[in-house]
Amino acid sequence: MSGVELGLGILGAIDVCYRYGKALLETCQAFHDADSRLGESALRVEVCWMRIESQLHVVRKLAPSLDERHRDVQQRTLEVLLNKLRMADLRLAKLTKSPDSQLSQSRSASSSAMVEARRWKFALMRDGIAEAIADLEAWQALFDPAWFLMMKMASPEVDNQLEMTRKELPHASEKGSSSSIPAARDLRRALKPEHSSSGGQSTVFLPQDGLAPSSVRAIHLSTASTAQRVDNGHMVVLDPINCTSRPHVRFVLKDAREFAKRLKRADPSAFGMLECKGILQEEGEKQTPSGVSRHAGSTSGLSFVFRLPSEVAPLQSLRHRLVGGHESRHDSLSERFALARQLVAAVSYVHIFGFVHKNIRPETVLLLRRMHGENREGRSELVENAVLVGFDVLRGADERTRRVSDEDWEKNLYRHPTRQGRMPEVDYEMRHDIYSVGVCLLEIGLWENFVAYEDGDLVPMLGPGLASDGAGEAGTDLLRDPVRLKGRLQGLARGKLRRNMGTLYSEVVETCLTCLDEGNLDFGDEEEFQDEDGIAVDVRYIEKVVAKLGSIAI
């Protein structure tokens, strides 16, 4: 990318993106015209660009309203897009000028040689388009959190520009992957106070006879279960809402009702959260079955009911996948990076929706697998999304927390030292979620369990990742000292993790683990995050965690 382009600013960068995007579409169309077998791949490029185009249209209008840090994040992300579009266009344009036509025109060339040349050309075209798709989709995942964060701005200008984009770009009003505008408008409606207060409990609570009791199945090593609807047979996820005591239910219920309303139109592929159909309230002390050790049943008698997308393979929890160790799907470096990126993005959307999770750990991360187009070999491609469940003690990000918790060591592993025990020292805030993310990223990078389970036994034990530090210090001793435990995690990030995943990944993990330390330059100053819209922490998280992790080349 030229220095001139780097100095364009947001508006200039968007103009150049439009130019490269249009050229890329024309090249892909030329490929399609040359060989109809490339039609589906060319269409995927067009879908990617249509989505990007609608988002750039909104950024162009709202850029003057962004604060300096948010604008800087958008600027640097657009520079990445510029580079990807330019390289994709150059790479594919070369193929249109391939000299293989000379071979086909040569009278001395044999028929088999011409057939082989056409196969070679087709393979290059197919691979070139596949690389362009992968680049655009990777950039999209990097860009989306910062773009959707603009929807959190209180200014009515956001609604005006979304409506203008819908009118000016016909495809922007369509539901589906070709546009982010419908999802953005749903998010805006969900975040408005009048939406939250409208409608009574009848809009959220579901009938108790709506699910087939015999269909309930535990998701192994997860806090959630699956069940089947009586009316249409569709599968749902039951996510128990836990309370430390029965009197605590009335406080949690307010947060749960609010959260269910906001997630009524959530898209798992966009937000890393399932669409919430409502809340199931069971009679008496009956509890929802679950697939994890203790305290997994709904002590409140309440469960979120999440809709499962169609054609999803059997669900697995991240803990279940980790238990598989080096024989599991994510033993490959690229898949571990992909999983880590999905997790950090999903957490950013919880915060954008205006909540903190308070329970992020491998048992509350589900892996959704479903078909998505074809890969370079022409086979059906199975893609995976990490989605969050375990919303059992959530609260609004701008509300005071209730300092009531538990002493389960397997949960304390993922809690900051100041938030452990029955009566934590401080109120909960977004940075406590970020700390939990850091522990999960450490576990993913090492691909070793910090919590283990014997076959057929759901009682948790200390996993191999923490059982010993190689210096004779037993991991069980660390569990009694939260500060020393945090130090051990940081030591793993600086040592073993760096050797496994590289310096940049380990730096992201350490940033998360130290986000509440006074010496942390990225998150340590609490006064920097006292903004009106509650966006400052989100921007910093997207900049220092989501974007940095997304920029790592494998």
Average pLDDT estimate for 510-522:
91
Q: pLDDT tens digit string along 298-318?
A: 556 789 999 998 878 789 999
pLDDT confidence of residue 404 = 53
Could you report the per-residue pLDDT of 245-289, keeping only the tens digit for each? 555 667 777 778 888 888 887 888 788 899 999 999 876 444 444
Please check whether residue 410 is in contact with residue 451, taking contact to mean a CB–CB distance below 8 angstroms. yes
Of the spans 172-186, 199-213, 224-238, 370-384, which averages the highest pLDDT?
Answer: 224-238
C-alpha–C-alpha distance, residues 263 and 259, integer Å: 6
Q: Residue 100 pLDDT more than 70?
A: no
pLDDT > 90: what percent of the chain?
38
- Could you tell me the two tokens for 145? 């959190």
What span, in angstroms and rounded, lies between the C-alpha atoms of 370 and 388? 17
Q: Average pLDDT, whole number, for the chain?
A: 81
pTM reported for the whole predicted model = 0.86
Tens of pLDDT, residue by residue over 376-400, are 555 656 778 899 999 865 555 555 5
The pLDDT of residue 202 is above 70: no
Produce one character per residue of 74-96: b if its CB has 16 or more CB atoms within 10 Å, e if not.
Answer: bbebbbbbbbbbbebbebbeebe
229 pLDDT higher than 90: yes
Q: From residue 172, give the alpha-carbon distance in Å to each of 51, 162, 369, 454.
A: 8, 9, 27, 51
Of 91-95, 154-158, 259-263, 365-369, minimum mean pLDDT range: 91-95
Q: Which one has a higher pLDDT value, 114 or 524? A: 524
pLDDT number for residue 296: 43
Query: For tokens 């950013």, what's the residue?
Result: 348
First to last CA, the chain: 21
